[in-house]
Amino acid sequence: MSELAQSAEEYLAIRRALGFRLARHGRLLPSFVAFLEEAGASFISIDLALEWAKQPEGSPTWWRERLSIVRGFARYLSAIDPRTQVPPPNLLASRGRMNRRAVPYLYSGADIAALMLAAHNLSPLQAATYETLIGLLAVTGMRIGELIRLDRDDLDDEHSLLVVRNTKFNKSRVVPLHETARDALHCYLRRRDELRPEVTGASLFISTTGTRLSYDVVQRIFARLCRQVGLKARSERCRPRLHDLRHSFAVTTLLEWYQVGANVPALLPSLSTMLGHNDPADTYWYLQAAPELLALAAARLDMLGDQP
């Protein structure tokens, strides 16, 4: 068996162990590997991937699906073989396909710290608001809309959690808070009450006028902070977005679980609940959002395979 064929089997085994069925992948990846071997290639190139994807007669939609299967395998291999070329998502793009899922812009801890520090240059109330807002998004994985809708009464000090009401799927959930996050929220509330003592509305986070934060204004200020700290687009579909703080939280959590040897498949439902996912498949998606996650999953599978 060639190295490519063996890598394909390992890739499929890893993803199936994480809960994916991959019936179509199981049929098409061996065909792609055979195509590479027949071409005398020892690694994936964009040209060969595109040639294989467009081999059969059919619609561009079918070609894109074939290429997306190769892309996932290539992302996995790129963490193992640096020669691997990952086909870009828009390689077979067509009109009407521009609303596809963006590539997550994963923020490092240094990125988040820089954004929070940059918020200090805003007006006093904005500085307190946006430093706390960015930090809370980074450590809870909440959606920005959920955070904007929070009321002061949604902070439960006794149990150290936030009550998120009427979320994206018209459900409510609780989000646990580390004591440091809870304390940071109280520091913010004291500061906002000092700066705007006349505010009597229910909103937890407020604007400079004392009203509930506006989604458009928050997006605009966050974009300005990203420019100030030098965060730039990594590709056409991978740009710094406020929502990517949620993606970064999910990926960081999974990485930490792998690094401490936790049973990740067993813990995934807990992460789904915390993120407020209606479909667990949305949480499984994060397992392929970063090549390092698949590499860690591969190492875990190898370790389990070595056990008697």
pLDDT digits (tens, 9 = 90+) for 164-180: 987 665 678 899 999 99
CA–CA separation, 215 and 207 (whole Å)? 11
Q: Read off the tokens for 15.
A: 């993803």
Task: State the pairing for strand pair 161-164/155-156.
Answer: antiparallel
Look at residue 222 in the predicted model and tell me its pLDDT: 96
Look at residue 287 in the predicted model and tell me its pLDDT: 63
Evaluate whether 275 touches 167 at the Cβ level (below 8 Å): no
Residue 163 host element (H or E): strand 161-164
Task: State the pairing for strand pair 155-156/173-176.
Answer: unpaired
Q: List pLDDT tens digits, range 78-99.
A: 988 989 999 988 787 654 444 4
pTM of the model: 0.66
Active site residues: 143, 168, 243, 246, 277, 286
Amino acid at residue number 116 = M
Of 120, 107, 110, 105, nearest to 225 (Cα)? 120
Residue 269 pLDDT level (bands cut at 50, 70, 90): confident
Residue 257 pLDDT level (bands cut at 50, 70, 90): confident
- Starting at the edge strand that comes first in sequence, how are the strands of the sheet with 155-156 ordered? 155-156, 161-164, 173-176
Q: List pLDDT tens digits, range 198-248.
A: 988 899 999 999 999 998 899 999 999 999 999 999 887 788 999 899 989
| DSSP letter assigned to residue 155 | E
Phi, psi angle pair for 53, to nearest 5°: -60, -30
CB neighbour class for 178 (10 Å; exposed up to 12, middle 13-18, buried from 19): exposed
Mean pLDDT score, 53-70: 84
Look at residue 308 in the predicted model and tell me its pLDDT: 43
Q: List pLDDT tens digits, range 102-133.
A: 678 889 999 999 999 999 999 999 999 999 99
Look at residue 306 and tell me whether its pLDDT is greater than 70. no
